[in-house]
Amino acid sequence: MRIMPKTALISVSDKSGIVDFAKGLKKHGVKIISTGGTAKLLADSGVEIIEISEFTGFPEMLDGRVKTLHPRVHGGILNIRDNANHQATMKEYDLEDIDMVVVNLYPFEATVAKGAEHDEVVENIDIGGPSMIRSAAKNHKFVAVVVDNNDFGRILSEMDNGGTELDTRVDLARKAYSHTGVYDSIIASYFNKKLGVKFPEEIAIPARKKQPMRYGENPHQDSAFYVKPLVNEVSVATGKQLQGKELSFNNIVDIHATLELVKEFKEPAVAIIKHTNPCGCATGDNIYDAYLKALECDPVSAFGGIVGVNREVDKQLAEKLGELFLEVVLAPSFSDEAKAVFEAKKNLRLIELGDIYGQRDLELDIKNVTGGILLQDRDLHEIEDIRSLPVPTKRKPTDFEYKAMDFAWKVAKHVKSNAIVYTTDDRTIGVGAGQMSRVDSSKIAASKARAELKGTVMSSDAFFPFRDSIDEAAGRGITAIISPGGSIRDEEVIKAADEHGIAMVFTGVRHFKH
């Protein structure tokens, strides 16, 4: 069922394209009612409009808080055109149909983002706009509701062919409810954060589609990438792709894992990630040195991986990275010479992040399960002073071991449980990830090692349930261990460490990563 609108109400915050759209409506003889700044812009642009106060017979009042909340507006939008009772009421009260509502909302999100005071934020909560949108969306059988300026073209095109299609109006209604839903969820999030309510009774999580994915984790799964508003931390959501193929679902997940690991280090650092787990991580005097160390840990697994660095990629590093097949390289920046080197690798994705050491956002982690979602704090725990941790063993760690354990603990936090990591003070030597038993992770980490394990340290993301992992580590020459502690068999574990002359520290904090 095509409908050619006769009257449109236009009230927009984002005015891009609105003048041309209004002129397009006028070409079809549409009467335009408008409000506030929109009315002024259209009138100044030569578009004949009727002010909302003239249409309703009431002035805009209460500093603009009340202008469209009026029966002439909502009766005009909501009446069912083929309902005799509705039409009798319209005639009785001399109401006029409104066939199109073009509304986008007060810039609440932008007001919060600029750090405005609470009173200003509150004044940017739109009331009339969402009311009109919901009214028009409900009555989509007869009314076109427009919340996205990108829809102006298709609407005018349909009007050129006789009017808006019902399927189009249904789609516009769908977008309208999403628009107001996201808007309200952002407002709710603001109040939750202001009041320190971490887990409210009800929650709606706002997000906007950034891009479609070619597919999900596997080719038979559809996927798209959504980003959250009002999250200011540098992340995969804020990164700029400079070149390469379209990002995949797995790329996004791995980029996130890579960035979170390199953020742990202030000195030049490199993380090489494969399937969310580090296959190499290192620090160095410079970023090139750090990359060589990280790659040496497991160059076989690095093939097809993702490399993240926390310094600019220069020509020397770009040329070295070009020797290995990689999916993605991410960095704060790339020199012009480095970009020129990478141009030869058309499929390699380059992600430029900017300064990765800005604020850390306290948003919650979200994990989906069938029928529900789990929310939790992000694991942002850091050890402020490793030398202050309790040492339950007879032997105290050396300066080298303290430094190495600090490095190992930062890496283990980003390895899937059960996680065991062997390191020196500046590089991973062996990584054991995702095993069902901790001793198996210990053995795998040792089997992956390409360098001598003697004199290295061991990090475990959770306590040791038995002494077997300690015995395994001792047999490999491990000299110090960092773990949370807290097992009912801690005494047995400590005794094993003492028997082998191993120094041990307990963090009191677990870093499970499921």
The whole-angstrom separation of Cα 350 and Cα 331 is 8
The whole-angstrom separation of Cα 202 and Cα 191 is 13
Question: Do 439 and 499 share a domain, yes or no?
Answer: yes
Please compute the mean of the pLDDT values over residues 326-349 and round it to a whole number. Answer: 96
The answer as to whether 223 is a domain residue is no
Q: How many CB atoms lie within 10 A of CB 267?
A: 13
Query: Which of 120-129, 131-140, 314-323 is predicted least confidently?
Result: 120-129
The answer as to whether 153 is a domain residue is yes
Q: What is the pLDDT at residue 59? A: 75
The answer as to whether 474 is a domain residue is yes
Q: Which amino acid is at 492?
A: E
Question: Do 393 and 483 share a domain, yes or no?
Answer: yes
Question: Do 293 and 186 share a domain, yes or no?
Answer: no
How many independent structural domains does the chain possess?
3
Please compute the mean of the pLDDT values over residues 48-75 and round it to a whole number. Answer: 81
**Among 194, 226, 255, which residue terminates a domain?**
194
Question: Do 154 and 71 share a domain, yes or no?
Answer: yes
> Does pLDDT of 105 surpass 80?
yes
> Does pLDDT of 125 surpass 80?
yes
Question: Do 248 and 162 share a domain, yes or no?
Answer: no
Question: Do 346 and 391 share a domain, yes or no?
Answer: no
Question: Do 346 and 389 share a domain, yes or no?
Answer: no
Question: Do 404 and 473 share a domain, yes or no?
Answer: yes
Q: Which amino acid is at 163?
A: G
Tally the C-alpha atoms within 13 A of residue 384's C-alpha that lie toward its C-beta: 1
Question: Do 309 and 183 share a domain, yes or no?
Answer: no
Q: Which amino acid is at 244?
A: G
Question: Do 115 and 41 share a domain, yes or no?
Answer: yes
Catalytic residue status for 138: yes
Q: How confident is the model at residue 61 (pLDDT cuts 50, 70, 90)?
A: low
Please compute the mean of the pLDDT values over residues 80-101 and round it to a whole number. Answer: 92
Please compute the mean of the pLDDT values over residues 115-131 and round it to a whole number. Answer: 90
Q: How many CB atoms lie within 10 A of CB 216?
A: 14
Question: Do 172 and 254 share a domain, yes or no?
Answer: no
Please compute the mean of the pLDDT values over residues 470-485 and round it to a whole number. Answer: 95
Q: What is the pLDDT at residue 232? A: 83
Query: Which of 110-114, 135-139, 161-165 is predicted least confidently?
Result: 110-114
Say if residue 84 is exposed, middle or buried (CB neighbours under 10 Å; 0-12, 13-18, 19+): exposed
H or E stretch including 9? strand 7-11
The answer as to whether 212 is a domain residue is no
Residues of the chain with pLDDT > 90, as a percent, come to 77
**Among 352, 369, 395, which residue terminates a domain?**
352
Please compute the mean of the pLDDT values over residues 46-68 and round it to a whole number. Answer: 80
The answer as to whether 151 is a domain residue is yes
Catalytic residue, from 70, 141, 175, 275: name it: 275
Q: What is the pLDDT at residue 512? A: 92
Q: How confident is the model at residue 156 (pLDDT cuts 50, 70, 90)?
A: very high
**Mean pLDDT, the chain, as a whole number?**
93
Please report, for the domain that includes residue 185, its CATH number. 3.40.50.1380
Please report, for the domain that includes residue 500, its CATH number. 3.40.140.20
**Among 335, 352, 369, which residue terminates a domain?**
352
The answer as to whether 68 is a domain residue is yes
Among residues 221, 222, 193, 218, which one has the least CA distance to residue 206?
193
Give residue-wise pLDDT tens across range 351-402.
Answer: 999 999 877 887 888 998 989 989 898 889 999 999 999 999 999 999 999 9
The answer as to whether 377 is a domain residue is no
Question: Do 397 and 452 share a domain, yes or no?
Answer: yes
The whole-angstrom separation of Cα 370 and Cα 352 is 35
Q: What is the pLDDT at residue 339? A: 97
Q: Which residues pair with 274 in a beta bridge?
A: 277
Where in the sequence is the domain holding 322, given as residue range(s)? 236-352
Residues of the chain with pLDDT > 70, as a percent, come to 100
Among residues 243, 237, 240, 285, which one has the least CA distance to residue 260?
237
The answer as to whether 109 is a domain residue is yes
pTM: 0.87
Among residues 355, 422, 417, 411, which one has the least CA distance to residue 383?
411
Catalytic residue, from 138, 228, 345, 403: name it: 138
